[in-house]
């Protein structure tokens, strides 16, 4: 590819040499001979320090945001993160231009909302790709997802696969990291849903105000912004939105564009009336939990905002199925219910607790832990949240990563010190699950929270296979 074409619409200091480049990367370990290396200053590693490695690997040109010592042609740009994202688009021929993009951002509800929105769009005859926490889907191909929003080159490569598969739309989770790190630079969304904003990722953003502001930046990249009016942070964000059209949904306020009325929650799903200024639709969805009222209501509001008739969108919701790892019932032959859920923040645990209490007939026994190398301040809050809705809980390990699992558990236990709720602390996650299953009685719910769809555990030694569906079945069958 011509270097000039790779840098199309990117302001560069100096003259661009007439070169052909074989590839593009911001990782010095992935440099191809004759490729372009973009030096990005990350949160832990500065790519400018790795220019010698890129040069030794055969790079043909370096793009940086400050002068570095190199024998190769050096091109300077103001922001290498933004430049890299736009160069990635150029490298793949800007495939996102042929897709109608729908974004979903927020602390909780992103994954469920993207799957629900994908289903509604497909019911309208669209071929829809998906980028998210659980999987990436490019037509019929399903790919494992490593990050909520991928690296810019991976992201553009996914868009290219979608276009090749005949997709005309893409629904994607948009994380705060992706916005802040300019991974979505150069993209424009037809519509973006803003679900909620509660404490998360403060290890990265520092403060809730900084977290809020990063999320708000997405409003400047979309034609339509759809906000949860019941969330104070979202209501405030709507007032500062840069989107040309702002819409809202609510379960409490008639000021919203669409409001949920007469909500009924069952073990088999949810029902409510969606009341807009034009009409009333009866919503029935086989996805249990009060938070799925918000997820489906946000999608319904977005669908109407982009021109889908409300009754057609409501009908599409009727055939929508649940999302793996979100209030997922494990099919086992026992007189109690085992549920997996991805809840791994204080707010997510509060939400899943409320959802379970809506249809629980017996006790709620909760197994949960906190991730390592993440925000330590939310650990005691997570423990408190779990204790508040549980009749019994087991505090254990999650993905400890490089931290000492015992220290993580100790951090969390501060939030429940002296609690009257019966509990155990068992650091080994498998033993914790075994203990909870042994404690369960007929009619109880055993909630295993934190990992949900994940089929692995991340330890200091690396990632190991760990599918809690298998763990539960093997324990109950006496194989573990």
Kindly tell me if the per-residue pLDDT of 175 is higher than 80: yes
Kindly tell me if the per-residue pLDDT of 195 is higher than 60: yes
- Residue range 407-418: mean pLDDT, rounded: 97
Q: Which pLDDT belongs to residue 205?
A: 56
Kindly state the percentage of the chain with pLDDT values over 90: 82
What are the pLDDT digits (tens) for 1-28? 999 999 999 999 988 999 999 999 999 9
- Residue range 376-398: mean pLDDT, rounded: 97
Kindly state the percentage of the chain with pLDDT values over 70: 98
Q: What is the pTM of this model?
A: 0.81
Q: Which pLDDT belongs to residue 281?
A: 98
Q: Which pLDDT belongs to residue 210?
A: 86
- Residue range 282-294: mean pLDDT, rounded: 91
Identify the weakest region by mean pLDDT among 21-30, 41-50, 421-430: 41-50
Q: Which pLDDT belongs to residue 203?
A: 57
State the Cα angle at 57 between 45 and 32, rounded to 5°.
Answer: 95
CATH number of 3-91: 3.40.1390.10
pLDDT band at 436 (very low <50, low <70, confident <90, very high): very high
* 328-476: CATH, from 2.60.130.10, 3.90.190.20, 2.40.50.140, 3.50.50.60: 3.90.190.20
What are the pLDDT digits (tens) for 100-121? 999 999 988 898 999 999 999 9
Please provide the average confidence, as pLDDT, over all residues in the chain: 94
CATH architecture, range 95-318: 3-Layer(aba) Sandwich (3.40)
- In the chain, how long is the greatest CA-to-CA distance? 74
- In sequence order, the β-bridge partners of residue 248 are 227
What are the pLDDT digits (tens) for 337-366? 999 999 999 988 998 999 899 888 899 999
- Residue range 30-39: mean pLDDT, rounded: 97
Kindly tell me if the per-residue pLDDT of 199 is higher than 60: no
pLDDT band at 122 (very low <50, low <70, confident <90, very high): very high
Q: What residue segments make up the domains of the chain, in order of their start?
A: 3-91, 95-318, 328-476
Q: Which pLDDT belongs to residue 149?
A: 67
Kindly tell me if the per-residue pLDDT of 202 is higher than 60: no
What are the pLDDT digits (tens) for 59-93? 999 999 999 999 999 999 999 999 999 999 999 99
Q: Which pLDDT belongs to residue 134?
A: 82
Kindly tell me if the per-residue pLDDT of 200 is higher than 80: no
* Common-topology check for domains 3-91 and 328-476: no
């Amino acid at each position: 590819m011509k270097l000039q074409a790779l840098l199309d619409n990117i302001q560069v200091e100096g003259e661009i040499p007439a070169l052909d480049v074989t590839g593009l990367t911001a990782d010095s370990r992935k440099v191809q001979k004759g490729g372009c290396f973009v030096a990005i200053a990350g949160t832990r590693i500065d790519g400018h320090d790795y220019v010698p490695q890129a040069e030794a690997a055969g790079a043909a040109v370096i793009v940086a945001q400050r002068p570095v010592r190199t024998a190769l042609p050096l091109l300077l740009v103001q922001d290498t993160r933004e430049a890299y994202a736009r160069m990635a688009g150029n490298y793949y021929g800007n495939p996102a231009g042929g897709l109608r993009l729908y974004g979903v951002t927020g602390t909780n509800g992103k994954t469920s909302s993207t799957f629900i929105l994908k289903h509604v769009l497909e019911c309208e005859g669209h071929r829809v790709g998906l980028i998210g926490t659980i999987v990436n889907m490019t037509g019929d191909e399903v790919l494992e997802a490593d990050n909520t929003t991928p690296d810019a080159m991976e992201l553009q490569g996914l868009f290219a696969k979608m276009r090749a598969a005949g997709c005309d739309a893409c629904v994607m989770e948009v994380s705060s990291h992706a916005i802040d790190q300019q991974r979505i630079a150069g993209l424009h969304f037809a519509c973006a849903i803003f679900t909620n904003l509660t404490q998360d990722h403060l290890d990265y953003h520092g403060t809730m105000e900084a977290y809020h502001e990063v999320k708000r930046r997405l409003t400047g990249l979309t034609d339509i912004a759809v906000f949860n009016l019941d969330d104070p942070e979202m209501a405030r964000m709507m007032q500062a939105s840069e989107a040309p059209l702002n819409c809202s949904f609510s379960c409490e306020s008639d000021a919203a564009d669409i409001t949920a009325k007469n909500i009924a929650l069952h073990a088999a799903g949810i029902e409510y009336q969606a009341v807009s200024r034009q009409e009333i639709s009866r919503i029935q969805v086989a996805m249990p939990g009060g938070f799925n009222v918000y997820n489906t209501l946000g999608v319904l509001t977005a669908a109407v905002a982009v021109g889908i008739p409300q009754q057609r969108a409501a009908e599409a919701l009727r055939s929508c199925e649940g999302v793996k790892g979100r209030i997922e019932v494990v099919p086992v032959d026992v007189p109690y219910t085992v549920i997996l859920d991805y809840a791994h923040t204080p707010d997510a645990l509060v939400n899943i607790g409320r959802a379970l209490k809506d249809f629980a007939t017996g006790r709620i026994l909760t197994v949960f832990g906190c991730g390592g190398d993440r925000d330590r301040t939310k650990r005691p809050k997570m423990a408190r949240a779990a204790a508040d809705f549980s009749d019994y809980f087991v505090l254990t390990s999650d993905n400890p990563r490089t931290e000492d699992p015992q220290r993580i558990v100790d951090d969390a236990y501060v939030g429940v010190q002296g609690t009257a709720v019966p509990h155990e602390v068992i650091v080994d996650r498998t033993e914790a699950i075994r203990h909870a299953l042994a404690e369960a009685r007929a009619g109880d719910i055993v909630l295993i929270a934190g990992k949900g769809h994940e089929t692995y555990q991340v330890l200091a030694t690396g990632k190991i296979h760990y599918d809690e569906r298998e763990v539960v079945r093997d324990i109950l069958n006496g194989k573990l």
